[in-house]
Structure 1
Amino acid sequence: MRKVALAVMLPLLIGASEAADAPAFTVKACTGARLGPALEPVKRLFADHAETRAVLIVADGCPALKAYAPGYSDYNRFISWSMAKSVTAILVGELVADGRLQLDAPAPIAEWHGVGDPRAAITLRQLLNMSSGLQHIEVGNPIEASDTNQTLFVADTEAMAAAAIGHRLEARPGSRFNYSSLTSIILAEIITRTLTDSRDPRTRAQIYTAFARERLFRPAGVRNAVLEYDGAGTQIGGSLMHMTLDDWGRIGGLLLDGRGADGAQVIAPEWLAFMKTPSPTNAQYGGHIWLNRPGIGRAALFFGKGPASAVGMNGHLGQLVIASPDSGQGRGVVIVRLGNTPNMRNPAMMQTLGDVTAAFDRGRR
């Protein structure tokens, strides 16, 4: 077992191991014994699953446990990978709340609205539900042949949104689920075009960053977010954001009830309800967020453990923010796990995270 440094806010030591290489757990007293059942599966996250780097549990608004593997600390920003998709969806919701975008109107992508172009029928809702009908290959065979890898890292880094928008339709919009990072880049481009007519990459990136800070990060208490942009100034909204462990926990807190730590409403209740509503084409996916339900293929969360109301931001190599509003004793529970776990080992890790979540079941004694 690798040695794990665990640092939390009040010195209530519960079970420091006698072994020199075992993790020492310190928890905040406000959770009392309620954290107890979660400690064993948290230990397993570090012992059994490749390179867990950080874990945070916020229970009923209390930052109850924070854990770092050696070499990681509060000073690190951790990559989002696909957790960024949910952040992008929250920002889309801000523009919907402002009346500047409409969920069921055709997506405002001028390139799709030429005479006879069937892509003109694609709605914002379908993009958010990953059911646009566009031909996007998320994981290719070989892997480097995937549209996602080619766009993010090889051929289209200067203009990712243009590449994503240019794909043809392969299915009727709204008829088929197709998980796609390029879809999220299109949504980030829609945000940018709604905010500015500028084509200057620097201007576009600055305006997007300012909007994200003003409407999401500042009211949520997020202090250290870094957003990445392509050469055209489009935020890489499906994959590339960086935040500290605490900041990922703050985003998770928003997914409980839309409110920041100070109680202020950050996400409109109706938008949060939309994000958590199962897509017509895959019941385990909502509006750019995963649901703890059965659906198409292998479960993305841990259906059968923890409440069905739990939702998750799920990123490549085991980046996870779980928000479970019906766990704990009051406001709910947020669990963040960050690391570098090969995807083939993710199902076992997800079951362990399910055990952590289930430890806060309100019926548990």
Structure 2
Amino acid sequence: MPKTASAILLAFALSTAAVQHHAMAQGLPTALATTPVLSDAQKAELNDFVAKQKPLLSDRDKVKSARDAILAPLAQTNVSATFRSELWKAVSDSAKGLIASGDEVLAVNGYRLAGEIATDSSVETLFAGLKSDKVAIRYVAAFGIRRAFEATTANAPALGRDKAVDLLRALAAAAGTEKDAHCFDAMIQAIAAGGSERQQIEGLRPQALRTLCAVAGKKAGDLGTKLADSTSLEALIRAQTILRDSFAKEQSPAWLDDAVTLAGDSLAYIYRIIKAGELASGKPGAPADVVEARRAARRVPLALVAAAESTITLARQAKSGNANPTSFADLLRRAEVDVDANVLTDIEGLIGQNGALKSEFKIAADRFKLN
């Protein structure tokens, strides 16, 4: 990632916390944000509040404090959809100006405003951000969608279902071609936010989690036979963990087969890189430091194996009552050639052409790429 993008992303990441009492200090009653219907006088008060911050938004040195002041009323729960809508009306011209400015620092703050306010109108600006040729902009657009989805878990949604579904589809399309590992991870987290157990948009949770399975599964397939960077693998682990944990909330969720398919995609990837010699291995009896180095190199890939195994075990338990657990991760930690070969045979028996998973779950016969 370019150093400039890294600096912007770091600054952005360090400034995501809302300032709880900033709004009161600026003269806007915090109770205004929870008012279901705003009077003309209250709308005028909100507009005056935003107007005081607008001139600061175009100043690189002051944009963050101005942004925080504008967003501070949203830090509480039960923010009304009406307040969000009126807030966006008041600040939209400035936010769009920041996005169109060509200055990445200002644009990041414009996208942040759009995502946090989380209305149908505000999130419109995020679609183009996902297609930007700038890493920092794609990242912050994905983060903005994540924040928009998170806003619909603690408040009456100002984001409609159709727009939320459009955001999921845009994330899936962007993630499918994303080359930057940090951006891909941000997209995974955004999709996952749409699938929160506290999601208030009807029907969005199952659709988001099925999308998560599809996006992460495609990435596992696209990684081919090369050992990927840790960030990419950790994004897949994150997706797998979210899905695994979802089984604790719903015994037989609509995304059960999709989650198992992702687990199979993950195991297929591990199968390919072991077969390609991407994970160091050797005979028993090697010096302790050599063995430790091999095991250290396997730490993240084997965390993916463990997450996939856990998903499959829980899914089997939910579907048939027979967990039938495997122990691939434990065996592969030994980093021994003969053990690896045996595990590959066992993985093939699980997800190969006639693998057990394909008879237990709804999975296409040619789904998993072992070559």
TMscore range, shorter length: under 0.3
Higher helix share: 2
When the two structures are superposed, what TM-score results if normalisation uses the length of structure 1? 0.26
Higher strand share: 1
When the two structures are superposed, what TM-score results if normalisation uses the length of structure 2? 0.26
Q: Report which structure shows greater RCO (CA 8 Å, sep ≥6).
A: 1
Question: Which has the larger Rg?
Answer: 2
